[in-house]
Amino acid sequence: MQPRALFREADSVLTEIAFSRSLRTAALFLLPYAGVLVGLDVAAHYGELTEAHLPVQFFLASDGGFGEWLEYSLTFAIAAMLLVMWRWDGASVYLANALLFAWLTLDNSIEIHERFGHAFAGAFAGWSLPVAPNDIGEASLFLVIGAFWLIALVAALRHARLRAAVESLILSGCIAAAAFFGVVVDLIVVWGAHTQALIEVETFIEDGGEFAMICVAFLIQVALFDAAWRGRSGRGVRGPEVGLSP
C-alpha cells in the first residue's frame, strides 16, 4: 500500500464525507436532540454543585438515562451498517470495527465493565495508586478489549482494499478519540482527590467528549454506508455529493 495512493484515497473519502447529503440529513435529526441532551447534562452538573438535584436521567452517562439510550442506538446502528458493508464487500476491516461497536453496545447496556471492575477489584487492591481497585479493573478490561481489536484491525488492514482500509482508519480515529475520553479522562476523574467543582467539570468533559465522538462516528458511518450502497446499486457515481436514493 503506497503512501501516496493512501493519501489520495484518504483525501477523496474525506471530501466525500464532508459533502455527503446523507450525513447532513442525519445531522439534522441527530444534532438538535444531542444538543438538548448536552444542555440537560450541563444543568444536572450545575444542580449537583448548587444542591438543586435534577433527575439522574439528565446525565449523559447515567445508566438508563436519555444520553445512554441514544448512545446504545448509535453504536448499534454503526455495528449494523458495518456488518452489512462486510457482507457486501467481504473486507474483514469492516467486521473488526463492527464487532467492536457491537461490544460497546452490549457493554454499555448491561454494564459489563462496571461488573468486571467490582468482581475483580480484589486483584488490584494491593496496588499503590490513588484510584479505587474497581476503577483499575474497568480500565484493564478496556485495555484487553482494545488490544484484541487493534490486533484484529492490523491483521485485516494487511489484506484490505485501499478504500476499505481508509474508511476503517477514519472510523478507528473516532474510536480512539472516544476511548481517550472514556478511559484516559475517566482515570483522571477518579485519580486522587478533587474538589466537587472540578469533578463536575472533568465528568462533563469525559462524558461529553465520548458522546460527541460517538455522534461523529455515526454521521461518518452514515456517509460511508450511503456511498457503498450507491456504488453497489449502480444508481450513481461516487463523488463529493452523495445522498440516499429512493
Do 210 and 34 contact (CB within 8 A), yes or no? no
Instruction: Give the count of domains, the chain.
Output: 1
204, part of any domain: yes
> Taking all residues of the chain, what is their mean pLDDT, rounded to a whole number?
89
User: What contacts 24+ positions apart, CB below 8 Å, involve 229-236?
Assistant: 232/88
7, part of any domain: no
Domain range spanning residue 158? 17-232
* Residue type, position 180, single letter: F
61, part of any domain: yes
166, part of any domain: yes
Give the pLDDT score at 186: 86
5, part of any domain: no
43, part of any domain: yes
Quote the CA–CA distance of 236 and 227 in Å, as a whole number.
9
146, part of any domain: yes
Q: Which residues of the chain have pLDDT under 70?
A: 1, 234-246
Quote the CA–CA distance of 227 and 218 in Å, as a whole number.
14
Q: Which of 172, 169, 198 is nearest to 185 (CA)?
A: 198
- The three state secondary structure string of the chain is CCHHHHHHHHHHHHHHHHCEHHHHHHHHHHHHHHHHHHHHHHHHHHHHHHCCCCCHHHCCCCCCCHHHHHHHHHHHHHHHHHHHHHHHHCCHHHHHHHHHHHHHHHHHHHCHHHHHHHHCHHHHCCCCCCCCHHHHHHHHHHHHHHHHHHHHHHHHHCCCCHHHHHHHHHHHHHHHHHHHHHHHHHHHHHCCCCCHHHHHHHHHHHHHHHHHHHHHHHHHHHHHHHHHHHHHHCCCCCCCCECCCC
Do 188 and 208 contact (CB within 8 A), yes or no? no
Bridge partners (DSSP) of residue 242 are 20
11, part of any domain: no
